[in-house]
Structure 1
Amino acid sequence: MQKLILLALVGLGAQLVDGSLGMAYGVTSTTLLLAIGTNPAAASATVHLAEIGTTLVSGLSHWRFGNVDWKVVLKIGVPGAIGAFAGATVLSNISTEVAAPLMAVILLVLGFYVFIRFTFQGLPKGQLGKPLRKRFLAPLGLVGGFIDATGGGGWGPVGTPAILASGRLEPRKTIGSIDTSEFLVAIAASLGFIWGIGSESIDYGWVLALLLGGVIAAPIAAWLVRHIPPRVLGAAVGGVIILTNTRSLLRSDWIDAPDGVRYAFYGVIYVAWAAAIVYSVLQYRKHAAEDKQIIAEAEHATTAGEVPDDKASANA
């Protein structure tokens, strides 16, 4: 019972982050499931089954708050579903001994990407209002879906920063569209895992616990996305992912590092993590007013049928 309550809290926290940042539900949840000894394929399957419900509620909540661009959802979501099914099939046929450290490497890379991107660059907002092309979104969705299924998460860390980096879609609509399109990815990945490992390998009590926490958090996160500083949240979440997966790798058969080496790594990560959060807060405060003005001007230009020419700051 205690484990189910903990999983529900994990689902709640992960969805709060995912719904307000556009990433990290799968990466966060899978990382914690692996930390308690869950089989990699079963962990990813559990998270994706829970995501069917959480992404549905999250998508509806973002739609109600006007955070969704449906053209983007379709252009990236369908290729994402194809990639996710393929990734689930691949992970289902890899041995646990190989899959566990391999997944930790994937999650660690994604964690570093989130951590560095949001700490030092924030949310790019240049060229807001210009259309996103299918030739950009389709390959992005295919790769993101594959990584999401094999890594237990990655749809947001791949899709959200890539679209934000294009500077063509404002942050809240990027996050809302990525969260909504993930519904298709979750369905495809779940079908792939059930076909690959069988439904008997999945603990549906865990799925329900993660789902319950995520469903409670989804509408709150959709509202928070208009108010919470994504830069600060990105630095915080990236640090959690890096710390947890560094621990998994150092204790794996691949490395099996002694205690002294592991603690030294943890100390460096803690210091860098604290410094990144402080830096992100300072940078957010420094550029908050400027960034709000840029977004307001872009929204006004889009409503008026114009395409903004502003070269925006990369800080958020």
Structure 2
Amino acid sequence: PAGMIGGAAGAFLLANVDGKVIEPFVSAYLIAIGLVILWKAFHPTPKRNVRDWMVPPVGLCGGVLDAIGGGGWGPIVTSSLVGRGHDPKRVIGSTNFTEFAVTLIISITFVLTLGWSELGSAVGLIIGGVIAAPFGAILVKRLPVKPLMIAVSIIIIATSAIRFF
């Protein structure tokens, strides 16, 4: 629910503010989180229960930044929770599961604020995400944790660093 509320707020904000202003801050945060995950891949912390006090605020911020940054839910929420020491497979599974609800709320908010004609190009991304999600779940289930964390951190760092160039 916090992610859905954040997503609606972020979509409403983005419909009324230029997202390019916020993009460097989101990218810097993601690079920092990617480095934390990479460090934790080589220095594991004890696993924690995913239901701690940080989950709602991380979900709220992840929803806002997903709407504003165009796809920040997974990198922000997943990397923040994995960076705190949660079980990576459980975090990835639960964030992927909830991403549909967050994306649905963001899409509805955009349609209500901007109209459908402004969002027609997003249909391909939505269809691709629906098709790719089950394959991601299968890979996460089968891959060992350390290589998974290393791969995730490298992808997050690389895709965020590109935005600075």
The C-alpha deviation readout for 1:250-300, integer Å capped at 9, x for no partner, is: xxxxxxxxxxxxxxxxxxxxxxxxxxxxxxxxxxxxxxxxxxxxxxxxxxx
Q: CA deviation at 1:106?
A: 3.6
Q: 2:101 aligns with which of 181, 184, 191?
A: 184
* Contact 2:36/2:83 (<8 A) preserved: no
Q: 1:117 aligns with which of 36, 41, 46?
A: 36
Q: CA deviation at 1:129?
A: 5.3
Matched position secondary structure for 1:122: helix
CA distance in 2, matches of 1:179, 1:82: 17
Q: CA deviation at 1:151?
A: 1.6
Q: TM-score, normalised by structure 2?
A: 0.81
* Counterpart check, 1:89 vs 2:8: no
Amino acid at match of 1:139: P
Q: CA deviation at 1:139?
A: 1.9
| 1:108-187 alignment, distance < 5 Å | 108-122=27-41, 125-128=44-47, 130=49, 132-133=51-52, 135-167=53-85, 169-187=86-104
The equivalent residue for 1:218 is: 133
The equivalent residue for 1:250 is: none
Q: 1:112 to 1:192 in 2, by over 3 A?
A: same
Q: CA deviation at 1:81?
A: 0.3
Answer with 176-185 or 116-125: which moved more: 116-125
Task: Give unmatched runs, 5+ long, in structure 2.
Answer: none
The C-alpha deviation readout for 1:93-112, integer Å capped at 9, x for no partner, is: 12xxxx25314314422441
> What is the aligned length?
161
State the identity as a percent: 29
CA distance in 1, matches of 2:32, 2:65: 14
Q: CA deviation at 1:213?
A: 3.0
Structure showing greater relative contact order (alpha-carbon pairs closer than 8 Å, 6 or more residues apart): 2
CA distance in 1, matches of 2:114, 2:96: 26
Matched position secondary structure for 1:211: helix
Amino acid at match of 2:94: S
Q: CA deviation at 1:194?
A: 1.0
RMSD over aligned CA atoms reads 2.4
| 1:1-316 alignment, distance < 5 Å | 78-94=1-17, 99-122=18-41, 125-128=44-47, 130=49, 132-133=51-52, 135-167=53-85, 169-203=86-120, 206-225=121-140, 226-227=142-143, 229-230=147-148, 231-243=150-162, 245-247=163-165
Q: TM-score, normalised by structure 1?
A: 0.46
Q: CA deviation at 1:92?
A: 0.3
* Contact 1:125/1:164 (<8 A) preserved: no
CA distance in 2, matches of 1:120, 1:127: 14
Q: 1:130 to 1:233 in 2, by over 3 A?
A: closer
* Contact 2:62/2:76 (<8 A) preserved: yes
The equivalent residue for 1:44 is: none
Q: 1:155 to 1:199 in 2, by over 3 A?
A: same
Q: Which protein is bigger by CA-based radius of gyration?
A: 1
Task: Give unmatched runs, 5+ long, in structure 1.
Answer: 1-77, 248-316
